[in-house]
Amino acid sequence: MKKAVAKKGESPSRLIDARIKELDDWRGKMLARVRALIKQADPEVVEEWKWRGVPVWSHDGLICTGETYKSVVKLTFAKGASLKDPSGLFNSSLEGNVRRAIDLHEGDEIDANAFKTLIRGAVALNSSKR
């Protein structure tokens, strides 16, 4: 699998589209699903492409990243430790003082409403720090 490489002037959204397409397996479908949920939760979200190929979603600061590995799609929330997670979506990076992550494996389902609530909470937290 080739990684989507940023070309000068290419939009981050197009690069994320290309990443989803090139994955061509459950990881691409999962990344597309969480991306859609993020956009539903925050229509003003800004898509970015950082660190040589990591999809990033921001609004008044970083919300989360969408890293893809061989056996997991990892959504790392920059300020996850400060977010309420009553549904228990966070299942990775739990020992840190700042970040929290959601590791999604093949066949996993994500609670759409709980995830969108988490996204909205991250946006509210970012907005409160301005």
How confident is the model over 40-99, as pLDDT tens digits?
A: 999 999 999 998 889 999 999 999 999 999 999 999 999 999 999 999 999 999 988 899
- Residue 10: pLDDT band (50, 70, 90) is confident
- 33: exposed, middle or buried (Cβ count in 10 Å: 0-12, 13-18, 19+): middle
Which string of DSSP letters, residue by residue, matches 46-109?
EEEEETTTEEEEESSSEEEEEEE-SS-EEEEETTGGGS--TT----BSTTSSS-EEEEE-TT--
Say whether domain 12-128 belongs to CATH 3.40.630.30.
Answer: no
- Pairwise CA distance, residues 18 & 12, whole Å: 10
